[in-house]
């Protein structure tokens, strides 16, 4: 069963049944949803990150999860879209790289490479921007450093991180079991 790495982000609260969910609550709830489908799910701490691509928006809350997934990359992408929609994401109404209640990216899917540029639902694995994002690499290395397994090349991702300038990533909440 391949080990998958997902990056999660949120910078927009959500009102469900007269209850406001903050970005960090949305991430925690998304982890609970993912745990139903990904075995041995490990969750990083939550980090606050300055927006990279469209700076005129609120800071993001980001984290990474890692675990074993038995389906295909396309099945995982479909699952992610269902979870994102459950927590308020409507891609048809949002600004590209703008504010969103929940964004889940497939960063890695075992050693599989996917380059599918289909217009309706593109999929690229490994995520093409992973190497330039501290908000992915810092939490990924946190999880890997807490793992006795050597499933992912820690050194490779540490080297990627060392080449990046500071992007304003700071710890928000330490990890807990989901």
pTM of the model: 0.92
SS3 67: strand
Which residue in the list 24, 68, 74, 89 is annotated as catalytic?
89
CA proximity to 63, closest of 40, 114, 99, 29: 29
Q: What is the pLDDT along the chain (178 residues), one digit of tens a residue?
A: 899 999 999 999 998 888 999 999 999 999 999 999 999 999 999 999 999 888 889 999 999 999 999 999 999 999 999 999 999 998 888 888 889 999 999 999 999 999 999 877 899 999 999 999 999 999 999 998 766 555 678 888 899 999 999 999 999 977 654 4
pLDDT at res. 176: 54
Give the model's pLDDT for residue 149: 54
Determine the Cα–Cα distance for residues 126 and 107; give it in Å rounded to an integer. 5
User: 100 an active-site residue?
Assistant: yes
pLDDT at residue 54 in the model:
84
Two tokens, residue 97: 């790289």
Looking at residue 178, its pLDDT comes to 43
Reference 73, options 118, 123, 36; nearest CA is: 123
Q: Which of 42, 68, 90, 105 is catalytic?
A: 105
In DSSP terms, which residues pair with 106 in a beta bridge?
6
User: Is 103 among the residues known to form the active site?
Assistant: yes
Catalytic residue among 42, 68, 100, 176: 100
- The strand pairing partners of 173, in sequence order, are 46
Domain boundaries, the chain: 3-173
Could you say which architecture CATH assigns to the domain 3-173? 2-Layer Sandwich (3.30)
């Amino acid at each position: 069963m391949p080990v998958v790495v997902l990056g999660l982000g949120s910078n927009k609260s959500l009102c469900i049944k007269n209850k406001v969910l903050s970005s960090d609550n949305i991430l925690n709830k998304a982890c609970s949803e993912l745990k139903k489908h990904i075995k041995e799910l490990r969750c990083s701490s939550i980090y606050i990150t300055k927006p990279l691509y469209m700076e005129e928006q609120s800071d993001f809350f980001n984290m990474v999860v890692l675990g074993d997934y038995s389906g295909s990359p396309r099945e995982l992408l479909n699952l992610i879209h269902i979870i994102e929609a459950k927590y308020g994401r409507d891609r048809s109404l949002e600004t590209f790289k703008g504010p969103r209640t929940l964004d889940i990216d497939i960063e890695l899917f075992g050693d599989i490479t996917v380059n599918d540029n289909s217009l309706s639902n593109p999929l690229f694995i490994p995520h093409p921007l992973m190497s330039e994002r501290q908000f992915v690499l810092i939490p990924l290395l946190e999880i890997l450093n807490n793992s006795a397994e050597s499933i992912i090349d820690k050194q490779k991702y540490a080297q990627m991180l060392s080449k990046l300038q500071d992007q304003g990533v700071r710890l928000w909440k330490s990890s807990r079991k989901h």
